[in-house]
């Protein structure tokens, strides 16, 4: 059987002061290749370059990565404020319809951090602009200084629903994860099923109800050290298995 092709959604960045690029973190590429057993393909977040139908016809699955810009609040009926930070409307205009199309078409998808938030917005949910400003919440942002190991170290526990999809994948109802995000889910969309929460109530693990294939997302960053981490590895393996099952059926 051929290896699946995974479209990894890129992010707009500037190389120097005047050269725009589309970039994907190497750890995302490694996780797809080494753990999901797939061929990584960088997809520029530029909706004018290809339709979602064309992209879904090329790729066997998609990974919606993290990124510094946040989903623009106009997509969920809120006003933009300074607390929302920067935006990338091109990425919004690609990912939100692509997520919906993949769910309808049964194309496996995995959402991470911003991608997790995109899953919720794509189906009508809303986001908090800044989790740490809410009463009783911890600061989920990464430490501003320190090594990569320190920034991506496991920082809090996520409690998972007993008998749920994630508990089955991880073989546990509790996992310890990293935390590198400012925003988070406020109101879950009707089709979003919440299966994991941090100790402070922050939503951390979701899937799309009645999706015909893999449609899972997490708020943390499982791509870090994915081949060695006991939480990350089974998630990417399950993603890869879902794509291979689809290929075998075709």
Cα distances (angstroms) measured from residue 169 to each of 29, 227, 237, 246:
21, 15, 9, 18
Count other C-beta atoms under 10 Å from residue 145's C-beta.
Answer: 7
Which of 75, 128, 140, 221 is catalytic? The answer is: 221
Sign of CA dihedral 70, 76, 80, 81: negative
56 close to 6: Cβ distance less than 8 angstroms = no
Q: Is 113 a catalytic residue?
A: yes
Helix residue ranges, H only, the chain = 26-30, 52-58, 89-105, 114-122, 148-151, 165-170, 232-249
Catalytic residue among 118, 130, 204, 223: 223
Q: Is there a catalytic annotation at residue 79?
A: no
The active-site residue, picked from 101, 102, 113, 140, is 113
Q: What is the spatial distance between Cα 142 and Cα 195, in angstroms, rounded to a whole number? A: 23
**Residue 191, CA distances (Å) to 106, 119, 123, 206 in order:** 15, 10, 7, 10
d(CA 184, CA 163): 24
Alpha-carbon span 223 to 12, nearest angstrom: 19
Coil, strand, or helix at residue 132? helix
Tell me, yes or no, if 156 is annotated catalytic: no
User: DSSP per residue over 135-191, as a string?
Assistant: TT----SPPSSS-HHHHTS--EEEEE-TTSHHHHHHTSSEEEE----S-EESS--TT
- Residues forming the active site: 113, 221, 223
């Amino acid at each position: 059987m051929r290896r699946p092709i995974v479209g990894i959604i890129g992010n707009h960045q500037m190389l120097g002061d005047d050269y725009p690029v589309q970039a994907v973190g190497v750890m995302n590429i490694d996780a797809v290749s080494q753990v999901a057993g797939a061929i990584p393909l960088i997809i520029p977040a530029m909706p004018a370059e290809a339709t979602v139908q064309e992209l879904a016809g090329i790729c066997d699955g998609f990974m919606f990565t993290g990124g510094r810009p946040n989903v623009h609040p106009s997509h969920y009926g809120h006003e933009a404020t300074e607390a929302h930070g920067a935006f990338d409307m091109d990425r919004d205009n690609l990912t939100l319809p692509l997520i919906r199309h993949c769910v309808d078409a049964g194309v496996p998808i995995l959402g991470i951090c911003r991608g997790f938030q995109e899953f919720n917005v794509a189906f009508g949910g809303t986001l908090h602009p800044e989790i740490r400003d809410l009463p009783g919440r911890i600061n989920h942002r990464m430490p501003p200084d320190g090594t990569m190991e320190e920034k991506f170290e496991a920082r809090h526990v996520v409690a998972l629903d007993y008998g749920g999809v994630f508990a089955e994948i991880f073989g546990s109802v509790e996992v310890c994860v990293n935390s590198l995000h400012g925003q988070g889910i406020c109101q879950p969309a009707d089709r979003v099923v919440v299966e994991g929460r941090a100790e402070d109530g922050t939503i951390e693990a979701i899937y799309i109800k009645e999706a015909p294939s893999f449609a899972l997302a997490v708020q943390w960053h499982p791509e870090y050290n994915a081949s060695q981490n006991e939480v990350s590895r089974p998630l990417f393996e399950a993603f890869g298995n879902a794509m291979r099952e689809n290929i075998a059926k075709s």
